Amino acid sequence: MALQVGIVGLPNVGKSTLFNAVSNSAKAQASNYRFCTIEPNVGLVDVPDTRLTKLEELVKPNRVVPTTIEFVDIAGLVKGASKGEGLGNKFLANIREVDAIVHVIRCFEDDNILREEGAINPMGDKGIIDTELQLKDLESVEKKIARTEKMAKTGGDPKAKREYEILKQCQEHLEQGRNIRELQLSKEDKVAIADLFLLTDKPVLYVANVDEASLLTGNKYSEALIEGVKSEGAQVIVMNNTIEAQISEMEDPADKELFLSEYGLTEPGLNRLIRSAYNLLELITYFTAGVQEVRAWTIHRGWKAPQAASVIHTDFEKGFIKAEVISYDDYVKYGSEAAAREAGRFRIEGKEYLVADGDVMHFRFNV
């Protein structure tokens, strides 16, 4: 699955530094490319998963293929972007294409790094970007209202009437300075706005970029951000993006481990960010395991076996017969597929089976 997470933020908040940490990571694949400043930079990054390492130890395959997530470094946003200021519409168009947003917010003081917005104010910075996205969404919603209003009021079509009601609800919500994701529309109601790809409907993860001294404890700025986004139920990850960039450049695992220990860290903050972004999109992983290859596959939580098979090849879904399943815990407990089968922990599942996170699977199909 081609999943994208856009990294956004005001200028000079550490957004590009974070992206450089992602794209220079020892686990990052060589698919990063750069255009000019108005084009997004893209990095395809492995999702860290200790289960994959354990399966590699047990199976000893010829190769291991992790699942990946794509990070997009989108050019900085400024006040007035919804009306074309700065990179304006180009920036907003890039955000429309991503599945989720990582919003980097400056939570450190440094007189050497320019800041046009005045004193450090995490919630104020968040508000600038929220406002611009809301204004752009309001423009999109109002255009669709104009197209559907007549049909809803005179056509007698109940579907059109309901769509109009939802659009008006979104309009009122946005005019109050609130994001669409807070509206908690049902899946059925979201059909009315699905074609708009609303910016404020996308799930968001906040990164508090703190100074080195605040890396483990946070500071008053990161605390203000955490408190300020509680109503959204959003997660805030406290990181120092410069340190993360340094860690990502280290090729020797021993050097990396020593560097982490010096800062009292057990793993790079980047790993936490990637896992959190993965979870934010409500994704899970299943595995295929054989001598030729052990591989992780990304699917949405709640997918049934045929849908899960489709990420390997569409023919697997079309001709699905059955799935052979061993839970990850059972695979590790018994040490192999053969041992799990002998212990009665090898299952045959049909089309209605809901795939669980960590399932080790083989698919039988006929096309």
Known binding-site residue numbers = 12-17
* Residue set of the binding site for ATP: 12-17
DSSP string, 168-212: HHHHHHHHTT--GGGG---HHHHTTTGGG--GGGS-EEEEEEE-G
What does the pLDDT look like over 253-292, one tens digit per residue?
899 999 999 999 999 998 889 888 888 889 999 999 999 9
Q: Which of 153-157, 187-191, 289-293, 344-348 has the lowest mean pLDDT?
A: 153-157
The one-letter amino acid code at 218 reads G
Instruction: Tell me which fold the domain 302-365 belongs to.
Output: Ubiquitin-like (UB roll) (3.10.20)
Domain spans of the chain? 4-116+203-280, 131-200, 302-365
Q: Which of 144, 176, 178 shows the shortest CA–CA distance to 163?
A: 144
Q: Write down the mean pLDDT value for the chain.
A: 87
Question: Six-digit token pair at 287?
Answer: 């595995």
233 vs 250, more confident: 250
Look up residue 59 and give its two tokens: 């199976």
Q: Which CATH superfamily is domain 4-116+203-280 in?
A: P-loop containing nucleotide triphosphate hydrolases (3.40.50.300)
What is 131-200's CATH topology? DNA polymerase; domain 1 (1.10.150)
302-365: same fold as 131-200?
A: no
